[in-house]
Amino acid sequence: MNFVRYLLERTHDPEKLFILGDHGTLSYEEFLHKMEDVTSILSNQYGTMKKILLMADNTPFFIISYLSIIYSGNIAVLVETKISKTDLTHIIDTSSLSGALVQGRYHQYFEDTPFNIIDESILKESGDKEFFSHPRDMQDDDIAVIIFTSGSTGTKKGVMLTHKNLIANTGSIIEYLGIDETDRMCVTLPFFYCYGASLLHTHLRAGGSIVLNQKPFLGSVISDIDTYQCTGFAGVPSTYQILINKTRFLQQKFPSLRYFTQAGGQLPNRYIKILTDHFPEKKIYIMYGATEATARLSYLPPELIHAKMGSIGKGIPGVTLAVLNHKMQPVKPSEIGEILAKGENIMKGYYNDPEGTDAVLKNGWLYTGDLATVDDDGFIYIVGRSKNIIKSGGYRISPMEIENEILSLEKFSGCVVFGIPDEIMGEAVVAVIQVPGTVDHHDLTKQIVTHCNMRLPSYKVPKKIFLIDEFPLNSSNKIDIAALREIVLSQDT
């Protein structure tokens, strides 16, 4: 089945609002009419199975273009709006693109491209309505989307997701979150990011609605949740850290809100506890996923959030997770191994990268590269990412343990720990801590070192501490570790 046909199966009320927010509103009927036109235009212009790039903010243009590309039997190639010129050139040169739909504000990136660029004006054109009644059906294994994500070398990898992948993950997420036609999601995460895209997929499939929040000040979600009577809100760790530390978020009641979801990295336990303390009546879902798994791999049931604090839970419906040691045996509690995943949501592979694909897809399993342990009940706890483990003086050090210890001081809004080259130790442990600009940095650094010396073995105590006013964020609203590392190395020379 074509993935978009699957998404549209439950759109029974044409007058119901589907898209709300900064760019106005669209009912299901208005949305479908615009998608009819764009789908037929793309089909007539490109045929099928062509790769069409899409670059746009979270707008009706993005949503309609994205779904129309897939519905017409073509492949949506999603790129982030903050992409570097080098990365974009690499994608254009290697992806055999047939065309691109690009929001007007980003046209300058495509001045010398060899293919046609389509902008928002396509939403005003008329297409052949007959095509929409008989859309292109696809095989389960046909590619629907390619999402580019950074690999371990820094080179962008194109994750190929099939119609089957998208259908499987969407259905599973709807099941465990209990999403239905009454749900309305406040969306701040970009749709070119798999977590953001999953919000669009699930609410369209359920017959619900979405609110697009594109305001530069994240605190505006506070009013949007109440104004639009949202039932759900989703964020990465930095989303919640910013809301908690820099807005009136914790002073709100959010009577319409049913649940929060968090994924895209590990939110420190301190912040999880803050959320549960201030919103005891809301369900809080801690989740884990990967672009290579379409979006979601595991979740922790909200009723277990205190008993299993820090856990990513177990596999979502239809997904099997295993934590295996180097002998491919399940780890015992407190032992560390790599998380492997199996399910219909696992990607087809990396575009034009058979070696990279073979390195992570083996015998039907996705090797995530994430290191974890388990408890006696089989719940999984991530301890770090294999490529982020710090190797210092013969020790293998997980940054997450040190980050959680520093954040237990409750004076800081964020902490990132990583290793930098060191002639003697191989790597030196470095902590970058976000603090208010008015504090005495020298005194605070001494407090951190004293605290770590009392609670951590000496080889885990940061050798260097950098205090920063604001963490740089990437286009997915996650802390930009690469940029942070450059800042540290430039100050350390």
Per-residue pLDDT tens digits for 232-263:
999 998 899 889 988 999 999 999 999 999 99
**Mean pLDDT of the 1-27 span:** 93
The Cα–Cα gap between 316 and 267 comes to: 19
Separation of alpha carbons 299 and 25, rounded Å = 32
- At residue 229, the pLDDT reads 98
Contacts of 449 (CB under 8 A, 6+ apart): 461, 462, 465
Higher pLDDT, 414 or 284: 284
Specify the pLDDT at position 477. 81
Arithmetic mean of pLDDT over the chain:
92
pLDDT classification of 291: cutoffs 50, 70, 90: very high
Greater confidence, 170 or 10?
Answer: 170
Q: What is the pLDDT of residue 341?
A: 98
Residue of higher predicted confidence among 211 and 487: 211
Query: What pLDDT was estimated at residue 312?
Result: 97
Report the distance separating Cα 310 and Cα 398, nearest Å: 15
**pLDDT attached to residue 279:** 98
Tell me the domains of the chain and their CATH numbers: 3-374 (3.40.50.12780), 389-492 (3.30.300.30)
266 — pLDDT class (breaks 50, 70, 90): confident
Return phi, psi of residue 392, to 5°: -130, 120
State the pTM of this model: 0.86
Are 115 and 100 in contact by the 8 Å Cβ rule? The answer is yes
Q: State which of 78-92, 311-325, 438-452 shows the largest mean pLDDT.
A: 311-325
State the average pLDDT over residues 130-145. Answer: 80
Output the pLDDT for position 130.
Answer: 66
At residue 10, does pLDDT exceed 60? yes
pLDDT at 44 over 60: yes
152 band by pLDDT with thresholds 50, 70 and 90: very low
